Structure formats: structure tokens, C-alpha cells
Amino acid sequence: MGREVTLKILRYNPQDPSDKPRFDEYKLEETPGMSLFIALNLIRENQDATLAFDFVCRAGICGSCGMVVNGKPALACRTLVNNFEEDVITIMPMAAFKLIKDLSVDTGNWMNGMSKRVESWVHTNKETDISKIEEKIEPDVADETFELDRCIECGICVAACGTKIMRDDFIGAVGLNRVARFDIDPHDERTAEDYYELVGDDDGIFGCMTLLGCEDNCPKHLPLQTKIAYLRRKLVEQKSDK
């Protein structure tokens, strides 16, 4: 027999005027290899079908199941119940995003707005001829670009960010990571001045307080602080030239 654990979950439906935020507790038996994703599904299947949370892949790829677990943002599918010595695990939605219901938050619209804000596409005046082999780049440059492309836009770096709590319009590590990714990409012809116009303010690169919450909690272990520091140095030079 496994130990009995209690999941203490914040429940609230903001679309229901009569609903009030509350914590509901659910008890279940821990099984070997049980993740929070499995536990939440068991609760929804066997105890409370009204419990709302998001998931798609169950493999840490889609980024849908981000939530705050015992005060820290994490992916439910990558978080094992046996990681916690205590028998009570408190789960809340990520406060940085619009609440849909219970543990479900709207990261999609936020990420879409972020993508537009940093103009997350290759800027070039070259015309692409699909009948020809694509332009080659150096393998080390490709590796560096692909490394940053591993971001799954789960929102955990945003939820873990102290600056985001104080500045609602802060672009977050995910947005700055996207800028760094296109700055590295040789297909993109934008200059430091172009990037400065996008994120060269306190809601962008100069708002980061380097608290490391983003990198400490990133489930893909991206080098967020390294890239943010690189981008800040580059744009500080641009600022001094103005």
C-alpha cells in the first residue's frame, strides 16, 4: 500500500458570479511513478469531474499543464508525487495569466501577444526560392539557435518572475529568449537598433532584476539568464550610442 496524500487545490470559476475562491482537498493513494498529472486525472475521473486543468502531451512537450505546486511553478506531467516528503501538496494556478477556471489559465493569448510584440519571425529582404536548397549556416550557430527553440512556451518562467509581478507589461524571459533566438539566427537581418526599439525599456530587457526565477524553474533548462545578460549588454551599448 502506498501512502495517502492530500492534494489541496485552489478552486474558482471567475465566470460564475456566485463562485468564491476556496481550497478543496482530495485524498488518494500514491502509486509508484505517480505524477501530479496522473493524480489530477484520478481526482477528476473518480472524485470530482468539475475540476479544471489543462494537459495535452503528458511528456513535457506541449507546456499546457503549468501550475504552482507548493509555491513553485512546475509542469504537472514532469512533477512526481514522491518528490514531496509532506503528505499535503498545495496546487494553485499560475497567477501571471488570466484565470479560466481552477488550475486552467490562458497562456495562449499572452504568448500570441508576446510573439507579435517581439515580431517573432525572420525579417529579411531576400526572396525565398523553394526550388533551391536553403541557405546553409554554420553547425554551431544552428545548434545555438535550436537550443533556444526548445522553449515550449509553458509560461513557467513568467509565473516565476518577480518583475512580472510588479510590471504587468513585462515581456518576461520567454519574450527575451525569443529576441535572442532571432538575434543569433543569420537569416534575420535586424540590427541591434531594431531590437532596442522592441525591448529596450523597463518592460523589456532593462526591467529584468536577475532574480533567476526563470532559469531556476525552466523545465527545459534553457540558458535564459545567459542569453538575457548577453542581450542586455548588447542593447546597453546601443543605448549609449543614442
List Cα–Cα distances, 191 to 110, 140, 197, 237, in angstroms.
26, 21, 10, 13
Confidence at residue 241, expressed as pLDDT on a 0 to 100 scale: 65
Assigned C-alpha cell, 85: 516528503
C-alpha span between 236 and 19 (Å, rounded): 48
Assigned C-alpha cell, 178: 525569443
Q: How many other CB atoms sit within 10 Å of the CB of residue 57?
A: 14
List the domains of the chain with CATH numbers.
Answer: 4-105 (3.10.20.30), 118-127+134-241 (1.10.1060.10)
Question: Could you tell me which of 54, 61, 153 has the C-alpha nearest to residue 110?
Answer: 153
List Cα–Cα distances, 212 to 56, 225, 228, 229, in angstroms.
28, 7, 11, 11
pLDDT string in tens for the chain (242-residue length): 689 999 999 999 999 999 999 999 999 999 999 999 999 999 999 999 999 999 999 889 999 999 999 999 999 999 999 999 999 999 999 999 999 999 999 999 999 999 999 999 999 998 888 898 888 899 999 999 999 999 999 999 999 999 998 999 999 999 999 999 999 999 999 999 999 999 999 999 999 999 999 999 999 999 999 999 999 999 998 776 65
Question: Could you tell me which of 163, 168, 233, 149 has the C-alpha nearest to residue 196?
Answer: 233
Per the CB < 8 A criterion, the answer to whether 13 and 102 are in contact is: yes
Torsion angle of the four alpha carbons 37, 14, 73, 8, in this order, in degrees rounded to the nearest 10: -60
C-alpha span between 180 and 225 (Å, rounded): 11
Confidence at residue 124, expressed as pLDDT on a 0 to 100 scale: 94
| CA pseudo-torsion sign 167, 171, 172, 176 | negative
Q: What is the DSSP string of 36-87?
A: HHHHHHHHHHHT-TT-----S-SSSSS-TTEEEETTEEEEGGG-BGGG-SSS
Question: Could you tell me which of 34, 72, 178, 157 has the C-alpha nearest to residue 107?
Answer: 157
Confidence at residue 132, expressed as pLDDT on a 0 to 100 scale: 87
Q: How many other CB atoms sit within 10 Å of the CB of residue 21?
A: 11
Confidence at residue 97, expressed as pLDDT on a 0 to 100 scale: 96
